[in-house]
Amino acid sequence: MIDIRAARNDPDAWRAALARKGATEAFDALLDADRDWLALVPLVDELRSRTKLKGRPTPEQIEELKAVKAELGRAEEELAAAAGRRDELLALVPNPPEPAVPGGGEDDAVELRRVGERPTFPFEPRDHLELARIDMERGARLSGSRFAYRMGGFALAELALYRFALDHVAARGFTPVIPPVLVREAAMYGTGFLPTDEVNIYSLERDELYLTGTSEVALAALHMGEIIERADLPLRYAGYSTCFRREAGAAGKDTRGMFRVHQFDKVEMFVFCPPERSPQEHELLLAVEEEIVRELGIPYRVVDIAAGDLGAAAARKYDIEAWFPSQGRYREITSTSNTTDFQARRLEARFRSERGIQPLHTLNGTAATARALLSVLENFQDEDGVVHVPEVLQRHGAPATISARA
RNA sequence: GGCGGGGUGGCCGAGCGGUCGAAAGCAGCGGUCUUGAAAACCGCAAGGCGCUCGAAAGGCGUCUCGUGGGUUCGAAUCCCACCCCCGCCGCCA
């Protein structure tokens, strides 16, 4: 959630920033609700103070107390209603983008750089379904569309990728974590996926649990409700988990293969740090992501995501897009966001500083998903449909070659 | 699934109708001592919200002892519901 006091004190600047995410309506509604609430607080406080007496009251005082309490009851009801409206809107207003974020929407990401040589093939490049044992038909028979059986050398290569990514980030000071993937509502709300992204979340109503779409949820909630000592910061984690996404609204998009599936695995980095440090940590996350992609040898580019495409929690986001020869374009394989204090406020994840207790900043970034491996398949294929697996993955247990037969 | 125990400040833990936002200890911060440190000793320290109090440090009001409701002039303490954690037994991987 946003810092309502800061917004109250400088509404025009906040409105202008939020306009870039198309959220002025929610913001103005919030300011109204906040004003209503704010007007009631001193009233209720005053009535409450009149109900407080030292020692045993006289019978006359008791009569008077009863009158005050009746009035207080009505005022408290009003206050609770106002607080309810205010909190509801507070949950809906997104994190404003940083000033440096490019304007516009999905198509307005700004390319920051291109790295690596794109391969040229004297043949028609195959896509991942033709290069590895990935069985979508039987996956669909088992579980529906967008589910894959990953088999043979590809399965081993996937595990090698995750192990490589974990080893790499561990060497960079991130603590490896295997987190729960079923979480309570508080964690989904605290990370900002609820209420905004509800349609994309699998829920187990009978048990009141949600399946996480990324280990970001479990990692962010790791310090929910805690007050961290400044000396212990920054805290850097890397979660390995299966991720579940309903992909509502993606109908007809990326329907071939396992490019976009309901269930996939991911190594995700997550950082808690003091506010002044978060831009620097964001650069670190991007740097680590690039290191991994470069070690794999995939040609890629880095894009700075535009304000309108940021999502509720992110104030800034960089994606790495890998080259996919069969599609003839760059596609997202990692994403790193600075969510500033937006998640930390909701989660009540705070730290003790010289200036008192204040919300932390949180950041997340993809270390590796199977999508990176799909790009590896396509970029390292030969004319016979055989993929020559990068050495770094072989070191972590992948076979030297992968094909549709093995 | 059955039975039982319990949720109090950063941590541990006492309190079981008013004098309690709350003892003691640990960790933290400040100081004394010391060449320096440790030890010892003294002291300071919960969080949220609000304020046409204050330049600030701070001050004042209010809420919070898992959450919500109730009893009472008055609730951390009594009653009800819910949530969560732990233990034992049963069943299962």
pLDDT in tens, A225-244: 888 888 888 999 999 999 99
Work out the pLDDT band at A337, boundaries 50, 70, 90. very high
pLDDT tens digits along A80-137: 889 889 988 998 999 999 999 999 999 999 999 999 999 999 999 999 999 999 999 9
Distance A97 CA to B59 C1' (A): 37
Mark whether A403 is an active-site residue: no
Contact A233, A274 (CB under 8 A): yes
* One-letter identity of residue A50: R
Contact A243, A179 (CB under 8 A): no
pLDDT tens digits along A279-317: 999 999 999 999 999 999 999 999 999 999 999 999 999
Q: Average pLDDT for residues A33-48, to the nearest whole number?
A: 90
Distance A85 CA to B65 C1' (A): 28
Q: pLDDT at position A55, please?
A: 55
pLDDT tens digits along A133-150: 999 999 999 999 999 999
Residues 6+ apart with CB under 8 A from A164: A292, A295, A368, A392, A393, A395, A396
With distances taken from each CA to the C1' atom of nucleotide B27, the closest residue turns out to be A229
Go through the domains of chain A in sequence order and give each one's CATH number: 4-90 (1.10.287), 106-402 (3.30.930.10)
> Which residue is catalytic, options A371, A375, A378, A403?
A371
pLDDT tens digits along A338-365: 999 999 999 989 988 777 888 999 999 9
Q: Average pLDDT for residues A217-229, to the nearest whole number?
A: 89
Q: pLDDT at position A196, please?
A: 82
Distance A64 CA to B46 C1' (A): 34
Question: What is the b/e burial string over A302-327, where b = at least 16 CB atoms within 10 angstroms of the residue's CB?
Answer: bbbbbbbbbbbbbbbbbbbbbbbbbe
Mark whether A371 is an active-site residue: yes
| Near-strand B residues (CB closer than 7 A) | A 4-5, 38, 41-42, 44-46, 48-49, 51-53, 55-57, 62, 65-66, 69, 80, 208, 226-227, 350, 356-357
pLDDT at A54 over 90: no
Mark whether A335 is an active-site residue: yes
The rounded percent of chain A whose pLDDT value lies above 90 is 72
Distance A229 CA to B25 C1' (A): 21
> Which residue is catalytic, options A78, A290, A295, A332?
A332
Work out the pLDDT band at A60, boundaries 50, 70, 90. low
pLDDT at A249 over 90: no
Residues 6+ apart with CB under 8 A from A87: none
Tell which residue, A158, A155, A177, A153, has the closest CA to residue A166.
A177
On strand B, nucleotides with any atom < 7 Å from a protein CB are 10, 18, 47-51, 61-63, 69, 73-74, 84
Distance A355 CA to B25 C1' (A): 28
pTM given for the model: 0.93
ipTM of the complex: 0.85
